[in-house]
Structure 1
Amino acid sequence: MELWELDARESVRRTLSDYTAATDTFDLAALAQCFGPDGVLEFTGGTGPLTGPAAIQAGLATAMAKEPEPGRQSPSYVRHHVASIRFRSVTPQRIEVSSYFAVYTDVGLDHWGRYRDVLTPIDARWLFAHRRIGVDGFAAASLMR
């Protein structure tokens, strides 16, 4: 493995970590900065792909502003655990990564699924060109369904 690839892989891990930290602290501006200028975010239950940091931040703010279902509360905390990070393809122009996540809230394990990501280098950082979030399941008492 060459040095550029080691640097690229660590930058990708940093972006994954920065995204996770931003979601756990509800910092949508920091989350949006994990995406390139034309980066796309797709997620289960979303209204469609969100493109670009501004649209991603606004779209997630709208989704978070919705009132919870009757009988459900908003979570007071969110903790994402990301595992099994697998580099599927690594080139100097594009990296494909897959991983799994589990999300904990006030109810315990709330929901879980997988990330499928494409990252590209922008200004010495690897940022999301595309992130697809697939939720595989929700707990019966999920606060984030």
Structure 2
Amino acid sequence: MNVEEMLTREAIRDRYAIYNRSGDKGRLEELAQCFTPDGVLDAPGYFSARGREDIVRCLMRPPPDTRDSAASSGKPARIRHFVSNIRFESIERDTARASAYFMVCRGDALDHWGTYRDVFSRAGSRWLLAHRSVAVDGRVDDAGRQSD
């Protein structure tokens, strides 16, 4: 592995962190900047969005079947995404493919988990998401039981 590939891998890892941290803090415009202007965020069974404005619009709608353990308190639920096992499938001059597992905690408990499958494009010195597919592999219902 050469220095250029190491720098690319670190830039992509940073993009994963920026995306998730922005979403956790409700900074959807910042999250959308992780995508190319015509980037796609595809969450089969939930929504598919193309372009930064559409991504923000789709993410503003709460998912119909996620629980909110803080709903009864009137405070927004704390949300945290955890990403692991980033696997770089290919790195070319201007395109890279990677995947990673994610786990989401909402309030005080595990909520759902799954896999990101990503295509990144070089944009100057940055790497942006051209396409992200989010597969939710499972979730915990309100009673704490695994579903899916």
TM-score with structure 1 length normalisation? 0.86
CA drift of 1:59 comes to: 1.7
CA drift of 1:67 comes to: 10
CA drift of 1:125 comes to: 0.3
The answer (yes or no) to whether the contact 1:75–1:105 under 8 Å persists in 2 is no
Which structure is richer in relative contact order (CA contacts within 8 A, separation 6 or more)?
Answer: 1
For 2:66 and 2:82, locate their aligned partners in 1 and report how far apart those are by CA, in whole Å.
Answer: 23
In structure 1, the partner of 2:146 is none
For 1:65 and 1:82, locate their aligned partners in 2 and report how far apart those are by CA, in whole Å.
Answer: 20
The DSSP-based 3-state class of the residue aligned with 1:64 is coil
CA drift of 1:76 comes to: 1.3
The answer (yes or no) to whether the contact 2:39–2:130 under 8 Å persists in 1 is yes
The answer (yes or no) to whether the contact 1:43–1:134 under 8 Å persists in 2 is yes
Moved >6 Å (runs of 4+): 65-69
The one-character-per-residue Cα deviations of 1:78-124 (angstroms, maximum 9, x if unpaired) are: 01110000001111121111100111112411101010001010121
Amino acid in structure 2 at the alignment position of 1:52: G
For 2:105 and 2:64, locate their aligned partners in 1 and report how far apart those are by CA, in whole Å.
Answer: 20
| Residues 72 and 140 of structure 1, relative CA distance in 2, 3 Å threshold | farther
The answer (yes or no) to whether the contact 1:79–1:105 under 8 Å persists in 2 is yes
CA drift of 1:60 comes to: 1.2
| Residues 90 and 65 of structure 1, relative CA distance in 2, 3 Å threshold | closer
| Residues 3 and 44 of structure 1, relative CA distance in 2, 3 Å threshold | same
The one-character-per-residue Cα deviations of 1:8-41 (angstroms, maximum 9, x if unpaired) are: 1111011101001011101101100000011100
Q: Does 1:95 align with 2:96?
A: yes
How many pairs are equivalent? 140
In structure 2, the partner of 1:50 is 49
Amino acid in structure 2 at the alignment position of 1:60: L
In structure 2, the partner of 1:122 is 123
Amino acid in structure 2 at the alignment position of 1:133: V
